[in-house]
Structure 1
Amino acid sequence: MKVVNSHGGGSFLLWTLVVQLVLCGSGVYTAGSTKSCILLSESESERKALNRLEPLANKNFTAETTIGTESYTYVFQLCGDAGGVPGAGVIQYESKKTETKPTVIGMYNATQAIGGSDWVMLIYTHGDRYDGHCSKEMRKAMIMISCNKQVAVGQLKVMLEERQRLQDCFYLFELDSSAMCEVLESQISAGSIILIIGFCLLAVYLIGGFLYQRLIVGAKGMEQFPNYAFWVEFGNMTADGCDFVCRSQNREDGRAYRGVATEPLEEEPEERDDHLLPM
């Protein structure tokens, strides 16, 4: 009977975990990334559109459809092996015959990506050839991924299978995701920023001053308000200035001017000096 060294096994698992972390950090280990998708014609715009789909990478999405008496199940994966089929981005198999070999609709090593403001059209080409349709050309899958703020990732839907043409046939799918929604940048004016900073400073002044007056100085009542004496004096001076400038009530008349009385003056009694004359 062979005995396994538990200490050695633990060290091996630890080193395996460390190696995986290093690979992830260096970018060599690309699971869960859109880097696995190979564009047919590498361009900055297509790579940028593809990178927007990063939150959906390496996740399987399924959809079912019925054509006549036959029902099919589709499996889609972004930049990963759909249904475990190597290199397949979208596969199809009959729902009642899951044990049979699936049909590859498109490969993620032959990808195209077209992006708009709130949508991305992902195209997988180089799928299995048609048996008797579309001049036996290779199948192609088109997945329209659109913005929907209500769901993180919606349900994959089969919209159309166009195979009545002589060429350029395709499978059309639809998927909603909030990852496609444009993030609006907050636009705050300079005046709003100044007001926010002013209110914050005022709040710090009031709260800090109140705590200092109450806990350190030991003030009570209205004296807990920071710089209470200053603000009271400032308020009185402001009120006096406003009263002086704004009020229209007449003040005392100057002493240099007096109005003329309209009532007649009383006549003073006439003084007679006849008694002073010699007799």
Structure 2
Amino acid sequence: MAWSKSGSRCTWIISIIFFSNVLETWSCIGIPDNHCACVYNDLLIDLNVGDIPVPLVASSNSSDSKDLYTYYVNPCKLLLEPTSLDVNCDKSSLCQKDVPYDDKSSQWYPIGSYTIEYTGVPNRDLQFHYGSQLFEGVYRGSVINIVCDEDQPVETLTFDGEHKLNEEVTEFSFTLRGDACCPIKHGGPNTALSAGSILLILFFVLLVVYFCGGMLFNKIGRGYTGVEIIPNYEFWSDLPKLVMDGWKFTITCGCRSTEESDPAYDNI
């Protein structure tokens, strides 16, 4: 069957939205009341629990003194805790400091706000994304790759690189490695059955009762045999076709295919 162009376009849009939502569920989900922590299935990553020395310090590797920088990171709090490093960094969790050369004094650059978003899953590709901050006409943000290492009790921070996305946006990447980055079994209140899970259980229990009770009633009370003992057999036999029609209508946004379009009127 050939679909109209608008129907095909709607199909692509709905498919993209659907798979985007599915992929989103494959990422670590932040915990509202616990900043710097996220949960994936029954695995919890909580950097607040680990005894991470702050601020973490990393350096860039460059033979040119003009490209030498030191990076200060407090992954779960603002850099002004416990003490302020520089006024430019008081509203940041990550900050960059250049090394003075010639007659130039050191300059501090905020490169990541307190806001965190999470992508990926623990033990594989988990990343903490820190919001971009505008400073001297450039938005600077950072990404920290979270790597579990149970044999490393003291967390280390490594500078991975600086990526200029465009003239106004720069992203810095780091790797945080240590045992505090390892997931633990999540045994908190979030492991309880959700309202959706309870509704699904009730639905399937009632569905079994409906079919078993209806079949017994039709068999014993009405004396039906064969497929007629199934309650509302006509409805259930038509259900696959109804579902197919509904799905077809949805993915085409109600647009009719070229084969289903109304024929032209006959000339009189």
The TM-score, its normalising length taken from structure 2, stands at: 0.43
The TM-score, its normalising length taken from structure 1, stands at: 0.42
Between the two structures, name the one with larger relative contact order (CA 8 Å, sep ≥ 6).
Answer: 2
